[in-house]
Amino acid sequence: MIKTLLLLMLFFTSLASQAQQLTVEVTDISNALKISVLSSDGIRTFYALKGIKPIYHNRQVHRNSHQRLKGLIMGRTVQIEVHKDGTATVFWGGLNINLRLIREGLLLVDTQGINQLTQIQQQDFVNAQEYAIKNNRGIWLNHSKSQSRRLHY
C-alpha cells in the first residue's frame, strides 16, 4: 500500500515538473519579443520566449529579430511549451523557433534562463549560438572572438 502510494506521488510529481503543452494562435509580438497568444477557448495570454536574450544595443539586429519572429509565427497556430517560470518555447511545424532565432544570430542565449531545462536542451541552446558564431550569422557577422565572448556569456 505504501509502495503504491509512493509510486503514485512520484508519478504525479513528474507530471507537474514537465512543461505544459498548448496549441495556440499567435496574435501579437511585442518589441521585447514577448508573444500574445489566443487559446481555442478564447483566453489571451502573454509569454516571454524561453532561453533567449534580445539584442537591444544593436537596433538593426533587434528590428531584424522582431521582423523574423513575426514572419515565422504571426497569425499562425503554433505549439508552445509553458515552463514553470511562465516563459514559453515555441514550435511551428516541428521547428523550435527559440533555437532557430539564436542559430540565425538574431538573439543571444540567456544562460540563466535555460537553467531549468534538461542538460540536453541547454546544450541545444549553446550549440545554436556556437553555430551562429562559427558561421558569422546575424550579430556575429564580422565579430572577433574576444567580442563574441563579451556578448554571449
31/132 Cα distance (integer angstroms): 22
| Cell matching residue 127 | 550549440
For the chain, how many structural domains are there in total?
A: 1
Q: Is residue 84 part of a domain?
A: yes
Q: Is residue 50 part of a domain?
A: yes
What pLDDT, in 10s, does the model give residues 39-83? 999 999 999 999 999 988 888 888 999 999 999 999 999 999 999
**Which residue segment(s) compose the domain that 98 sits in?**
19-152
3-class SS at 33? coil
Query: Does an H or E element contain 21, and which?
Result: strand 20-29
Q: Is residue 10 part of a domain?
A: no
pLDDT at 145: 56
- Region 83-112 average pLDDT: 96
How far is CA 14 from each of CA 17, 113, 136, rounded to the nearest angstrom? 5, 21, 40
pLDDT at 32: 85
pLDDT at 58: 85
Q: Is residue 9 part of a domain?
A: no
- Say which CATH number the domain at 40 has: 2.40.50.90
3-class SS at 19? coil
Whole-prediction pTM = 0.81
Q: What share of the chain has pLDDT > 90, as a percent?
A: 71
| Cell matching residue 144 | 572577433
pLDDT tier at 99, thresholds 50, 70, 90? very high
